Amino acid sequence: MSYTPEQIIQRTRSAFIWTRLLGVPFWGMVYLLSVILYKDMHISPLQITFIITLKPMSALFAPYWSQIIYQRPDRIISNLVWANILRYLPFLFFPWIDSSWIIIAAFGLYMMFYRGVMPAWMETIKNNLPALSRERLIAFGSAIDYCGTALLPLILGLVLDKYEHSWRWLFLGTGLLGLISTVFLYRIPISTTTNQLASTPSSILSFFKVSVLKPWKESWRLVKSDVNFLNFQIGFMLGGAGLMIIQPVLPMFYVDILKLSYTKMLIALTVCKGLGFAIATPLCVKLFRKLNIFHFSGVVTVLAALFPFLMLGAQFHISLLYIAYGLYGIMQAGSDLSWHMSGPVFAQEKESTLFSGTNVLTVGIRGCLVPLIGTLLYALTNSSVVMLLGSLLCFFATIHFMKYRLVVKAETDSI
């Protein structure tokens, strides 16, 4: 079936937005997962740490899912559809699962597919939408997620407090809601101008080379051949490392230094961060169009560098905690836009899936190593030293970004 350009744009937008909207209630439950399991299933500190590390670690496996669609545009829609089904499916059985490890594994699977479909989405948006409307759609989708995590955990918390074990049925209900969005994914038109057939590995060795090593080899070849993208990865690695190195010390900082109640923590982590993200999103879209992607990312990392300083200042006045997380939300709005749009921006006329897949892979590498370094440094020093180091890494990222400028072909199409 052939579609007009307006129909292609409308169907793609609708699918992207409805997938986000219908997934928000579930994302609100996932946000509270470690608290729920600690309170109702009495999981150990080791399991809590495992839940925290699973989120970045899932990025190491996500490229294997996105590799399926590399140079195979005919597979993009099925890639989105199956990932959407598989990431919600295990949660439909939560009312009857008593093993905390199975629940944690389901969370890991969800995060892998959540990250794994990002290249497919970016390539779909790149093919189906005019350039000037891509940033707006990505930013709007991220705003939906952040507004949901700003409000839903507080609402869901009231239900969880009133009805014991209600979390099992809430996961089932919100999972079903997320599955409904699959209907919209089927309706996305996609270009199939290229249709390269993938070869089937003939032995275990060839399977290892093709299926296991290929994402790493392709990403390594990409960063070696594209200096602009390599410089972007270096800057984003520095900035991301600055934020991730402080994550292991934040719980101790909240409890031992700031002595926060759960209410104050939720207001800062959800409401202030979510509001900052929502307010900044339209401004970030405008700024992204005016600035070069390197300079835009430099603005993001300088905001990230301020976050640890404000957190340290919260020892003297609690209002700085809320300001810090409001600023974090503003920073995250820019970071999400820069990270998601970097694939289409650096790919230009080429296929963007490998660029986006490399982004996901580097997040996984950083997530496996940097929090461990933060934990070791905390054991040797204290939380303030680790947070100052995180700020310094973000500042170095800003210096790096400001040294470069990407020259791209001017876009003249409009919404």
Question: And the tokens for 15?
Answer: 């699918």
**Number of Cβ atoms within 10 Å of the Cβ of 78:** 16
Q: Two tokens at 168?
A: 């099992």
State whether residue 236 is helix, strand or coil: helix
Q: Cβ-count burial of 28 within 10 angstroms (0-12 exposed, 13-18 middle, 19+ buried)? A: buried
The whole-angstrom separation of Cα 43 and Cα 53 is 15
- Alpha-carbon span 367 to 375, nearest angstrom: 13
Q: What is the pLDDT along the chain (415 residues), one digit of tens a residue?
A: 577 777 788 888 888 888 888 888 888 788 778 777 877 787 776 676 677 777 777 767 766 676 665 556 667 788 888 888 989 999 999 899 888 899 999 998 898 888 777 777 777 887 788 776 777 787 777 777 766 666 666 677 677 777 778 888 989 998 999 999 898 888 888 755 444 444 444 444 444 444 567 767 788 888 888 888 899 999 999 999 999 888 878 777 776 788 776 566 667 777 788 788 888 888 888 898 888 889 999 999 999 999 999 999 988 988 898 899 899 989 988 998 888 888 888 887 777 777 877 887 787 788 778 877 887 888 888 888 999 999 999 999 999 999 887 654 434 333 3
CA-nearest of 113, 112, 80 to 183 is 80
What is each CA distance from 40 to 35, 154, 229, 278, in whole angstroms?
9, 18, 45, 32
- Are 320 and 264 contacting, i.e. CB atoms less than 8 angstroms apart? no
Question: Which residues contact residue 34 at a Cβ distance below 8 angstroms, ignoring those fewer than 6 apart?
Answer: 43, 48, 51, 52
148 contacts 155 by C-beta, under 8 angstroms: no
Token code pair at residue 344: 């289409």
Q: Report the distance separating Cα 136 and Cα 286, nearest Å.
A: 9
**pTM exceeding 0.85:** no
DSSP state of 95: G
**365 to 185, 336, 355, 396, 411: CA distances (angstroms):** 30, 18, 16, 19, 34
Cα–Cα distance measured from residue 159 to residue 188, given in angstroms and rounded to the nearest whole number: 36
Q: How far apart are CA 215 and CA 60, in angstroms?
A: 10
Which domains, and CATH codes, for the chain? 1-191 (1.20.1250.20), 211-405 (1.20.1250.20)
